[in-house]
Amino acid sequence: MNGQSVTAEEEFSTLPITTNDDVVRARQLVRALAQQAKLSLVDQTKLITAASELARNTLVHGGGGVMRSGLVERGGRRGVTARFEDSGPGIPDLDLALTDGWTSGNGMGLGLSGARRLTDDFTLASKPGAGTTVSITKWVR
Ligand SMILES: Nc1ncnc2c1ncn2[C@@H]1O[C@H](COP(=O)(O)OP(=O)(O)O)[C@@H](O)[C@H]1O
Ligand SMILES: [Mg+2]
């Protein structure tokens, strides 16, 4: 043990995101995890909102994918992580995509930037043609 994350990824559950119903399921699953972790009500709402936006992006922009989520622990702190993965077109310009109000389509352009603001840890990895992975974590304070 080295003080890094001690939660094995195998403990994460995988939820496919290929329909609107799946986006609702992703939201419900993250809510259940947030309650289980005993995040504050405000932090639960922040995490659920972020996860909803990312699930929708996975469906709409990524052409479908999966959410891997679970409880995590690091340095004695508890949290919830949700990671969204797709094999879609990818994002050519990450900084642009993270700009408030920027959308390549008809959206509000607040999903990615909002998810970053609402969570404690946010990582976005994408390459054109190679899909997109976005990971968010909210820690109990
Ligand atoms: N999973 C994804 N795959 C490909 N492009 C994405 C993905 N997620 C976000 N993007 C790109 O980033 C832009 C900004 O995303 P977002 O802030 O959620 O705005 P919106 O979804 O309203 O367009 C999107 O318009 C899209 O071009
Ligand atoms: Mg969006």
SS3 19: coil
SS3 128: coil
- pLDDT at residue 109 in the model: 97
Count, in order, helices (H) and strands (E) of the chain. Answer: 4, 5
Per the rule left: phi > 0, alpha: psi between -120 and 50, beta: everything else, 101 is left
Structure confidence by residue, pLDDT tens digits, 111-138: 999 999 999 999 999 989 999 999 999 9
Distance from residue 88's CA to the centre of ligand 2 (Å): 14
Q: Around Cβ 6, how many Cβ atoms within 10 Å?
A: 12
Distance from residue 112's CA to the centre of ligand 1 (Å): 7
User: With a threshold of 0.85, does the pTM exceed it?
Assistant: yes
- pLDDT at residue 11 in the model: 84
Using alpha carbons only, give the angle 66, 83, 43 rounded to the nearest 5 degrees.
125
**Ligand closest to the CA atom of residue 98:** 1
Report residue 56: phi and psi, to 5°: -65, -40
Domains by residue range for the chain, with CATH: 9-139 (3.30.565.10)
